[in-house]
Structure 1
């Protein structure tokens, strides 16, 4: 069997959308997650309490509920979510963890009950 070259992007899950919840109250997105949303400059944050799903959808700059999505590194993006996390009283146990995400009807859905193993 021939050798396969390990690509650094695979270490951070660049081939499928990931969202991390940082202890400082930020959501981090990998390139795949950013691209899945259509590379937006602004997003709105949503929460489905019954399903325990965080939703992120692209937003217009003039939306009063829009948060600016900023580039953090060459392969990651961040949005401030401290007020969102506090308002919905999301458990501290999700802080510092990564979750897989998928697009559904224009919303990047993040199931916080299913952590991605490191």
Structure 2
């Protein structure tokens, strides 16, 4: 298999704010971006059609336009997620690929300029495995003599203990 060049743009920067619009129209904010809207539990989604700028503004849950912010992990840290499929469909925001942007603040709102393409994000789960990789895993599994049956086989991205 040939070498591939590591593209650092594909990895999230923990301290730099980022907003990702996923394929199904979900909007995710990393911790730094969620901090910029004061870790709001609900947000309003806004759109400037002329400038093609999307914005999130923290609000309280009494607003009739409030969208709940869910956390990607049970601990509450990490990604904050907003279900925005109707929003992205209504404004024709491209969700054919998952894309990440560096947001900016404007009038207390967290904004993304959608005239910039954003960085296309691909994950391990979207890459098809090759028959050689499958064969290597099967051979490694056959070599394990201590385990006859596994209820929960390791996932492709889980570390394998030797």
Q: Structure 2 length normalisation: TM-score?
A: 0.62
Aligned with residue 110 of structure 2, among 99, 104, 108? 108
Count residues with an aligned counterpart. Answer: 107
Name the structure, 1 or 2, with higher relative contact order (CA <8 Å, separation 6+).
1
**Residue in 2 that maps onto 1:96:** 98
Cα RMSD of the aligned pairs, angstroms, is: 1.5
Q: For the structure 1 residues 77 and 84, does the alpha-carbon distance in structure 2 shift closer, same or farther, using more than 3 Å as the test?
A: same
Local SS of the residue matching 1:63: coil
Please, which runs of 5 or more residues in structure 2 have no aligned partner? 1-10, 122-162
Q: Runs (4+) of structure 1 moved beyond 6 Å? A: none
Local SS of the residue matching 1:113: coil
Q: Give the superposition deviation at 1:108.
A: 0.2
Relative to its length, the structure with more strand (as a share) is 1
Contact kept, 8 Å, 1:37 with 1:103, in 2: the verdict is: no
Q: Give the superposition deviation at 1:117.
A: 6.9
Contact kept, 8 Å, 1:57 with 1:107, in 2: the verdict is: yes
Aligned with residue 83 of structure 1, among 71, 79, 86? 86
Give CA deviations for 1:30-59 in whole Å, capped at 9, x if unaligned: 001000110100000000111111000001
Local SS of the residue matching 2:40: coil
Alignment of 1:2-41 (within 5 A): 11-41=11-41
Contact kept, 8 Å, 1:21 with 1:27, in 2: the verdict is: yes
**Residue in 1 that maps onto 2:49:** 49
